[in-house]
């Protein structure tokens, strides 16, 4: 099997962080280009045109970072990084989803409507031109402020995003915070709990994956 990867991109990064914490090594095929686009041969192979994508030995193609993580969680259950029982699994999934929808997506909204190379690429994976919308920049920043504040409150009472242990929710949250930094949006000084968490998880070897 192999993973088609764009190593600097946020979605592949959260998967790579997860795999590193899992202790798994999978062949990576880099498909990103210097002009911040995906290689034409990859888009022809995989018309959904998004990364990461896992290709199994039988040719099955599985997209979406968390779908791929779920596949590996099922075949390599230890250590459990997506929850240990029904209650824990639901909590981990809840916070991972919040990190994605309230952190990753507004960071993407801001970046895609700000960076010059994405002036006609307002939506990921779109084959046709999608012009940037300047108004979405302010909305992206506002959404990120809410994201930082919500996760700061959660981390006031928890060592990690979903509780006492590192989980895949931490991978997505870390990727989201760093993605926001691409647009010079940093953790507010008032979010001391989030900053404490960020410093700790950034020091883990998996953060360098």
| Mean pLDDT value across residues 63-89 | 98
What is the pLDDT at residue 115? 77
Q: With CA atoms as reference, report the closest residue to 50 among 2, 100, 101, 4.
A: 4
* DSSP classification of residue 4: E
Does 96 lie in the same domain as 53?
A: no
Q: 0.85 exceeded by the pTM?
A: yes
Calpha distance 132→19 (Å, rounded): 33
- What torsion, rounded to 10 degrees, do the Cα atoms 156, 160, 164, 165 define? 180
Asked whether residue 166 is assigned to any structural domain, the reply reads: yes
* DSSP classification of residue 2: E
Res 186 pLDDT > 80? yes
* DSSP classification of residue 104: I
Question: pLDDT (tens digit, 9 = 90+) per residue, 43-72?
Answer: 999 999 999 999 999 999 999 999 999 999
Alpha-carbon distances, residue 192 vs 41, 53, 142, 163, 196 (angstroms): 45, 35, 19, 17, 6
Contact 110, 141 (CB under 8 A): yes
Res 8 pLDDT > 70? yes
Q: With CA atoms as reference, report the closest residue to 82 among 162, 139, 150.
A: 162
Q: Please report which confidence band the pLDDT of residue 133 belongs to, taking 50, 70 and 90 as the band edges.
A: confident
| Mean pLDDT value across residues 149-169 | 98
Res 119 pLDDT > 70? no
Q: With CA atoms as reference, report the closest residue to 65 among 28, 10, 119.
A: 10
Does 156 lie in the same domain as 98?
A: yes
| Mean pLDDT value across residues 11-19 | 98
Alpha-carbon distances, residue 114 vs 36, 40, 183, 184 (angstroms): 14, 24, 8, 11
What is the pLDDT at residue 129? 72
Does 128 lie in the same domain as 39?
A: no
Instruction: CATH number of the domain at 93, please.
Output: 1.20.1050.10
Contact 70, 76 (CB under 8 A): no
Asked whether residue 178 is assigned to any structural domain, the reply reads: yes
Q: Please report which confidence band the pLDDT of residue 24 belongs to, taking 50, 70 and 90 as the band edges.
A: very high
Asked whether residue 142 is assigned to any structural domain, the reply reads: yes
Res 86 pLDDT > 70? yes
Contact 155, 195 (CB under 8 A): no
What is the pLDDT at residue 118? 72
Res 26 pLDDT > 80? yes
Does 56 lie in the same domain as 148?
A: no
Q: What is the mean pLDDT of the chain?
A: 94
Last residue of a domain, which of 75, 97, 123? 75
**Sequence-separated (6 or more) residues with CB below 8 Å from residue 115:** 36
Does 196 lie in the same domain as 104?
A: yes
* DSSP classification of residue 132: -
Does 145 lie in the same domain as 101?
A: yes
Does 148 lie in the same domain as 202?
A: yes
Phi and psi of 81, rounded to 5°? -115, 5
Largest distance between two CA atoms of the chain: 50
Residue found by looking up tokens 């006492």 in the block: 164
Instruction: CATH number of the domain at 6, please.
Output: 3.40.30.10
| Mean pLDDT value across residues 24-53 | 95
What is the pLDDT at residue 132? 73
Helix or strand run (H / E) with residue 39: none
What range defines the domain where residue 180 resides? 86-208
Asked whether residue 159 is assigned to any structural domain, the reply reads: yes
Question: pLDDT (tens digit, 9 = 90+) per residue, 142-157?
Answer: 999 999 999 999 999 9
Calpha distance 148→163 (Å, rounded): 17
| Mean pLDDT value across residues 87-114 | 96
């Amino acid at each position: 099997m192999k993973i088609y990867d764009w190593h600097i991109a946020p979605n592949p990064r959260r998967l790579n962080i997860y795999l590193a914490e899992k202790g798994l090594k999978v062949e990576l095929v880099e498909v990103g280009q210097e002009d911040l686009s995906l290689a034409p041969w990859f888009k022809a192979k995989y018309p959904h045109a998004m990364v990461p994508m896992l290709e199994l030995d039988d040719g099955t193609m599985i997209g979406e970072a968390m779908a791929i993580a779920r596949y590996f969680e099922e075949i390599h259950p230890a250590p459990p990084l997506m929850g240990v029982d029904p209650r824990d699994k639901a909590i981990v999934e809840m916070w991972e989803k919040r990190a994605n929808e309230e952190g990753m997506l507004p960071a993407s909204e801001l970046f895609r409507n700000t960076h010059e190379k994405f002036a006609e690429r307002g939506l990921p994976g779109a084959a046709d031109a999608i012009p940037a919308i300047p108004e979405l920049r302010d909305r992206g920043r506002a959404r990120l402020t809410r994201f930082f504040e919500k996760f700061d409150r959660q981390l006031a009472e928890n060592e990690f995003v979903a509780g006492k242990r590192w989980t895949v929710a931490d991978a997505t949250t870390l990727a989201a915070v760093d993605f926001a930094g691409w647009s010079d949006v940093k953790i507010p000084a008032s979010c001391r709990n989030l900053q404490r968490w960020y410093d700790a998880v950034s020091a883990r070897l998996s953060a360098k994956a």
